[in-house]
Amino acid sequence: SRIEQSLIGLLASYDVQAVAKPDAPGVYVDGAKIASLGLRIRNGCSFHGLALNLDMDLRPFQRINPCGYAGMPMTQLRDLVGPVDFAEVCTRLRAELVSRLGYAEQKTLTGGIEL
């Protein structure tokens, strides 16, 4: 999907080689999941979102089956490249999404998070 490709492009900007898997939605680095997607159409409305693991405690994933896959290894950007700046990641991801989704303008709604 274009959203997966945007995440792959973002990760490439950090020199991280990532891939999408046709049989398992999300983005993966060396077999470990780094990003999840949520896409749904209900009553004629589309709902979408993504979760990118940047710098977090990944231990809770050991207690669940991420996206229904038992034993799915998880990773995060910090473990691959060292400390990352949240605002910089947002800026790069926004640019990737705007480009790949074909938008001419961009407006950031952050839910109160200052970028």
Is 67 annotated as catalytic?
A: yes
Q: Please give the helix or strand (H or E) that residue 26 lies within, else none.
A: strand 24-29
Q: Which of 12, 56, 67, 87 is catalytic?
A: 67
CB 52 within 8 A of CB 89: yes
What's the burial of 95, exposed, middle or buried (CB within 10 Å: 0-12/13-18/19+)?
Answer: middle
Could you give the residue numbers annotated as active site?
67
